[in-house]
Structure 1
Amino acid sequence: MIVPKFDRDRIIQGAKELGIEVREVAPGEGGVFIQEKDGSERELTTFDLFPEAKEIADLRCALAGLIAENERLKKALKLIESKSEIPEESVDLVPITELYEINLHAKEALR
């Protein structure tokens, strides 16, 4: 497994440029920690240096949700199409149960 090497000095410099107060533990070996306003500390994350990374992660989740919803609607549409494949008959001759079932599936798809 390849372990990526990070330029800690550059990370610390970038954090300070962003106004983030940081502390390095065991220079060259340890982690980089953020000093919060209340005095507590936590390890520096990608989201601290690149706030847009959180937005990108949120957008990816939203996109995945839209893709799943699209797939659900495709399945519902196929079901509705299969139910509505009735022989060329007058609407008056189509059993009311079939029309009710088509309507029910359409309402379910629109939820």
Structure 2
Amino acid sequence: MVFTHLDTSARNLLIKGPCIWLLDWEFAGYFPRSAEIATLRLDVGKEPANLDFYHDLESAILRDKPLTPQEREQVDCWRELALNHIRIYRPTPDEQLRMYKRRRGIDGSLR
């Protein structure tokens, strides 16, 4: 187990001169390092322009200690678990219209 960020992305890095800060630690914890690699390989929701960042970061992480066969299998399991829990939902134009037409009270609750 290693202390893992689990949301390493360009938007969570603050770079100023020679200093780099890693922000947004809400998903951090002690996990197998395969979990961090799985999150880097999961391209869902990532901007296409940033995909090289994730591939370069993974290469840097694995440069000195490549994944073992067991860790590669774990990465596949982590990714499958994540994909099984992602729900992509896009409301139809009619559903969007109904959402905006609902009357709301002063406190924001639906009437």
Specify the TM-score bucket, using the shorter chain as the normaliser: under 0.3
Normalising by structure 2, report the TM-score: 0.24
Relative contact order (C-alpha < 8 Å, sep 6+): which is higher? 2
| Larger of the two Rg values belongs to structure | 1
